């Protein structure tokens, strides 16, 4: 608390950095997961192996993955984002495909029967219907990413992790408390905000 009060600029900067790392990761992860999720929903042959692969990545210890990636991509933001995007894929692809598979067959039948192209059916009917499940996945992925992103501080990518590791290295509990508080606030805030979106999506579809 003392650190937070004495260095509000430093904490704010690290928080913004952290948000930036997370936003880039989730943006890229979504852009990747949307086509993969659609593919998985359309083809059972793709779905099985793809989810096994993503699940395997998801179970790897994050610090080990980060250390491994550093040997190829060096220290910094790029390495961090690669790890974060890879971790988020499992939850995102799973929820997107499960959400799409949960759309009643009659709706897709009606959409095509009325003359929608498969893409129109996807965008106008299936995604809106699957939105609650997809947003739930987005929430889980975002909260996990906020947490894993603290490791970025260890490999010179900044964020709240930098504050935490500096605190650990310098035996400065004040910095650790400030970093932890900020990280927890971010995670809880994102969770609450996306829960709100989820409820909104549910109320619009059911």
Among positions 9, 59, 171, 206, the unique one binding other proteins when judged by CB under 8 A: 206
For the CB of residue 101, give the shortest distance to other proteins in the complex, in Å: 16
Minimum gap (Å) between residue 126 Cβ and other proteins: 10
Exposure letters 76-103 (e unless 16+ CB within 10 A, then b): ebebbbbbbbbbbbbbbbbbbbbbbbeb
Binding of residue 104 to other proteins (CB under 8 A): yes
Helix (H) or strand (E) holding 187: helix 173-205
Q: Of 37-45, 120-128, 147-155, 169-177, which segment contacts other proteins by CB under 8 A?
A: 120-128
Measured from the CB atom, the residue of 102 and 189 that comes closer to other proteins is: 102
Q: Are 137 and 196 in contact (CB under 8 A)?
A: no
45 touches other proteins by CB under 8 A:
no
- Whether the CB-CB separation of 149 and 18 falls below 8 Å is answered with yes
Q: Does 89 bind other proteins (CB under 8 A)?
A: no
Candidates 30, 36, 54, 111; binder of other proteins (CB under 8 A) is 111
Per-residue x/- track, 122-161, other proteins (CB under 8 A): --xx--xx-x------------------------------
DSSP state at residue 60: S
The answer to whether 144 and 88 have CB atoms below 8 angstroms apart is yes
Structure tokens at 73: 């991509």
Among 9, 72, 115, 169, binds other proteins (CB under 8 A): 115
CB 202 within 8 A of CB 132: yes
Beta-strand ranges (E) seen in 20-122 are none
Dig out the tokens for 71 from the structure: 């040997």
101 binds other proteins (CB under 8 A): no
Which residue matches tokens 């709706």? 107
CB nearer to other proteins: give 9 or 113.
Answer: 113
Nearer to other proteins, 116 or 177 (CB): 116
5 makes contact with other proteins (CB under 8 A): no
What residues line the site for other proteins (CB under 8 A)? 104-107, 109-117, 120, 124-125, 128-129, 131, 204-206
């Amino acid at each position: 608390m003392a650190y937070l009060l004495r260095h509000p600029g430093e904490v704010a900067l690290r928080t913004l950095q952290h948000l930036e790392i997370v936003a880039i990761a989730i943006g890229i992860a979504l852009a990747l997961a949307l086509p993969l999720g659609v593919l998985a929903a359309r083809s059972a042959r793709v779905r099985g192996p793809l989810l096994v692969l993503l699940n395997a990545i998801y179970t790897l210890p994050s610090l080990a993955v980060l250390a491994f990636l550093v040997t190829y991509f060096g220290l910094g933001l790029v390495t961090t984002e690669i790890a974060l995007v890879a971790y988020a894929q499992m939850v995102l692809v799973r929820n997107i495909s499960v959400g799409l598979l949960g759309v009643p067959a009659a709706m897709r039948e009606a959409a095509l029967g009325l003359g929608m192209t498969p893409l129109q059916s996807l965008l106008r009917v299936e995604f809106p219907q699957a939105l609650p499940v997809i947003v739930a996945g987005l929430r889980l992925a975002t909260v996990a990413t906020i947490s894993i992103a603290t490791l970025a501080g260890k490999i010179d990518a900044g964020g709240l992790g930098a504050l935490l590791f500096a605190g650990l290295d310098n035996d400065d509990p004040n910095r650790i408390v400030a970093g932890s508080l900020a990280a927890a606030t971010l995670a809880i805030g994102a969770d609450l905000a996306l829960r709100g979106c989820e409820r909104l999506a549910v109320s619009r579809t059911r």
